[in-house]
Chain A
Amino acid sequence: MLSQIGGLFNTLTPNDLFNIFVILLVALLLFRLNKLLIPWIAEKLAGKRRLQVLAFMPIIRLIIIISTFLILFPKIIVPTPENLLAFLGAMGIALGFALKEYISSLIAGIVTLYEMPYRPGDWIEINGVYGEVKSIGLRSLEIITPDDTVVRIPQLKMLDSPLFNSTAGSRELLCVIDFFLHPEHDPNLVKRLLYDVAFTSAFIQIKKPVIIIIFEKPWGTNYKVKAYPLDARNQFQFITDITVRGKQALIQNKIQYAHIPMSSSEKA
């Protein structure tokens, strides 16, 4: 049996080992270069072009992996059909037991590359985590949250959890800013004020529509201002700007905010 296993592999000379080492090193360097260079180039570009360049990152990574595998495989394994079958069979058993989750995530990553439910630069929410997709690996993806926290999510989660993508490859992201007001006020005045607040924001993407939706609640009135910032990355500045100036406008016009009743346990 040992001789059969021995027959599977090439006899590796020191020169072969050195070549394998060099190939792996080059692959690693290319990986690193891809991770550094593509985001650096993307940051130099504006808007849509930035997102288009970032989308290449996972594709380049996959190309590097496949190329490295194709170069190394005939160097290590004697490339006969029997050996190939034996190798793949052994791999399958080992991976099936030991690395089931890892391989599942890997395959999910490949599926993701094909389906592209999200791209680098997208703002997504999954399992309660909201942030910008920084990089897409084969096994996991990296999200930066608004608190500058890096979160790694296995690709497998993408297949069995609902995914909310706010941008889907574009730079536009709809922001919703809530105002909760005391029920006794003139709604037309409030609508006009909030429209002006939105249209006079320095961060607004003015070519996109501004919509104000009003919901009547038992405790008061909920106004939702729906508008788009210049870029998805400006969303928090935009929301802050609308909130601050909206508050100023409402106070100047003596419009009160809602007082939401709390239970005694909440008060405590």
Chain B
Amino acid sequence: MTPNVINAPNLWQFIPNSQFSRPSRPIEETVRLGVINFVQKFRSSRLKDVGFLNQQILSAIPRTKLDRVIPAINWEEVALALDQYFREHFNQPQPTTTTLILCPPASDLSIVLNFWGKQHKWNLLPSPDYNEILDTPDSWFETLLPVLQEPFIIPHLEHWFLRHLRGLKLLRMLLDRVQTSPTPCILGLDTWAWSYLKYAIQIDAFPQSTIILKAFDSNMLHSFFTELSHQNYKRQIFFRETTTGKLVLKSENSDIQPQKILKFDDNFLKNLAGYTHGNPLLAWNIWRNSLRTDPDEEFLSKEEDSDVILSDKRRTLWILPWEKVGVPTVPDSLKLIDLIVLQTLLLHNGVVRDFLPNLLPFTVEEVNRTIAYLTKLGFIEAFDDRLRINRLVYPRIRDKLNGEGFLTDEI
């Protein structure tokens, strides 16, 4: 019997930036974190403060099975939501020609922009390299002018500037051009860069529509993960919490015998929504990271999916309790240089490792030592040719920077 597909409301929705509100953390989690942070302030040693708390109660899921249970996000759906927005936007009497899409860290919305651009045959502009930003912005911009006559998309506008005394000129030139041109364009901009550029070049004063993906609260995450789990399996998969045994995703009654009716607890999803600030891709990463199987009950294979006799245990996956999910806390021993490096990586959505010292008021040796230390802590990872913040730790790092008075994004 096929489980009823939950008729989820349209999950993906682009809204004006002014209407964005993020899900809040449950009070119990805020108190628990506050106690942990307070106690950690009085512990010594730089590295001992930090460690992943993964409890290997159960086995990790093999990658192939994990990809079947929680497949990749279908970006086509997100592109449809963007389509919906633009249909409404361009039907307005005097729509702005420039649309700025704010992309939270670890949201990968540039994939959607690339996809949408190819669908609608808009020019996708590549990002300049560092030399072009600093040394030859005028000549490089000249070469772009013909392309700017046609509708275009810039998926990563945050890669068009540098926090460097010569790093703002190119972006100013582009925005001046966009402001005066009737050619429509879509600019994808990281939320950290947006916060910075509001002060540095008053980017919010340029005429534009600024939109952002609506945050996923716990209900939307529930729908999201349920939909994903139905993509490759006809029959229901049960997701249960390891300590309470309760269901984390609601069950379909048609599949459960009366004596086995299990209670549902949305605590994990509420914590997940609050922790990730409603960022669905970040939540997806943590969700996958939290799944375990019972080593005594092998999780069903693709061929066994239709087997009605298969026990519920074979189609059960376990979720670590929120406090055991294994996201490290940020130690109090981080120095000013550590925090500045982290903030710099966030402002630029990743920086090429060898170029990073050019953006910092420290020596190359100091920066390399800091990179090594932060990588050891698990706060920094290499991605393509750039260093970026580890997505799982990002919310904690953001909280730390915010607490120390650094500029952070607004979501």
Given contact pairs A44-B41, A200-B167, A206 touches B200 in the complex (Cβ within 8 A): yes
B196 within 8 A of A: yes
For B359, the closest partner residue in chain A by CB is A202
Confirm or deny: A45 has a beta carbon within 8 angstroms of a beta carbon on chain B: yes
* B60: chain A residues within 8 A (beta carbon): none
Q: How far is the CB of B44 from chain A (nearest CB, A)?
A: 11
Which residue of the partner chain, among B42, B336, B340, B406, contacts A44 with CB atoms under 8 Å? B42
For residue A48, which residue of chain B has the nearest CB? B405
Which B residue sits closest to A40, measured CB to CB? B42
B41 contacts A202, C-beta separation under 8 Å: no
Beyond A45-B41, A199-B199, A249-B165, is A205–B405 a contact (Cβ under 8 Å)?
Answer: yes
Chain A residues with Cβ under 8 A from B199's Cβ?
A: 199, 206-207
Report the separation of the CA atoms of residues A247 and B184 in the bound assembly, to the nearest whole angstrom: 40
Contact B404 A46 (CB under 8 A): yes
Bound-state Cα–Cα, A249 to B164, Å: 11
Whether A46 contacts B403 by the Cβ 8 Å rule is: yes
Chain A nearest CB, measured from B360 CB (Å): 6
Our pick among B165, B166, B196, B403 for the contact of A206 (Cβ within 8 Å) is B196
When C-beta atoms are compared, the residue in chain B nearest to A44 turns out to be B41
Within 8 A of B (CB), among A157-175: 171
Q: Which residues of B contact A47 (CB under 8 A)?
A: 403-405
Q: Mark A51-93, 1 if CB is under 8 A from B, else 0.
A: 0000000000000000000000000000000000000000000
Q: How far is the CB of B391 from chain A (nearest CB, A)?
A: 23
Interface string of A218-255 (1 = CB under 8 A from B): 00000000000011001001001100110011001000
* Pick from B166, B200, B361, B406: contact of A230, CB under 8 Å: B406
- Are B165 and A196 neighbours in the complex by a CB distance under 8 Å? yes
Closest to B38 in A: A44
Q: Is A203 an interface residue (CB 8 A)?
A: yes
- Give every chain A residue within 8 A of B164 (Cβ-Cβ): 200
- Select from chain A the residue with minimum beta-carbon distance to B43: A44
Nearest-neighbor residue (CB-CB) of A237 within chain B: B361
Choose from A44, A171, A244 the contact partner of B405 (Cβ within 8 Å).
Answer: A171
- CB pair A202 B361 closer than 8 Å: yes
Tell me the residues in window 130-177 of chain B with beta carbons closer than 8 Å to chain A beta carbons. 163-168
In the complex, whether A197 has a CB less than 8 A from a CB of chain B is yes
CA distance A237 to B337 in the complex (A): 12
Q: Chain A's nearest CB lies how many Å from the CB of B147?
A: 27
* Complex Cα spacing A240 to B332, Å: 26
The reply to whether B407 and A207 contact each other, CB–CB distance below 8 Å, is: yes
Residue A193 CB within 8 A of the other chain: yes
| Cα-based distance from A47 to B42 in the complex (angstroms) | 17
Tell me, in angstroms, the Cα distance from A203 to B200 when the chains sit together: 14
Tier of interface size on chain A: 20 to 34
| A207 to B200 CA separation, bound complex (whole angstroms) | 10
Q: Name the residue of chain B whose CB is nearest to the CB of A199.
A: B200
Known: A171-B405, A241-B361. A202 touches B340 (CB 8 A): yes
Instruction: State whether A46 touches B163 (Cβ < 8 A).
Output: no
B344: CB under 8 A from chain A?
yes
Q: Please give the distance in Å from B232's CB to the nearest CB on chain A.
A: 46
Which residues of B sit under 8 angstroms from A44, Cβ to Cβ? 41-42, 332
> Which of B165, B168, B196 contacts A245, CB < 8 Å?
B165
Which residues of chain A have C-beta atoms less than 8 A from B166's C-beta? 252
- Whether A202 lies near B404 (C-beta < 8 A) is no
Q: Bound state CA distance, A143 and B115, in angstroms?
A: 61
**Cβ of B172 to closest chain A Cβ, rounded Å:** 10
Query: What are 23 inter-chain pairs, A to B, with CB distance below 8 A?
Result: A44-B41, A44-B42, A46-B403, A47-B403, A47-B404, A196-B165, A199-B200, A200-B167, A202-B163, A202-B359, A205-B405, A206-B199, A206-B200, A206-B407, A207-B407, A230-B404, A230-B406, A231-B405, A234-B336, A237-B361, A240-B361, A241-B361, A244-B361
Residues of B within 8 A of A (CB): 41-42, 163-168, 196, 199-200, 332, 336, 340, 343-344, 359-361, 403-407
Give 19 A-B pairs besides A46-B404, A230-B404, A241-B361 with Cβ atoms closer than 8 angstroms.
A44-B41, A45-B41, A46-B403, A193-B165, A196-B168, A200-B200, A202-B163, A202-B343, A202-B344, A203-B340, A203-B361, A206-B196, A206-B407, A230-B405, A230-B406, A237-B361, A244-B361, A248-B165, A249-B165
Q: Which residues of A contact B (CB under 8 A)?
A: 44-47, 171, 193, 196-197, 199-203, 205-207, 230-231, 234, 237, 240-241, 244-245, 248-249, 252
Which 10 pairs show the lowest CB-CB distances between chains A and B? A44-B41, A199-B200, A206-B199, A241-B361, A202-B340, A200-B163, A46-B404, A249-B165, A206-B407, A46-B403
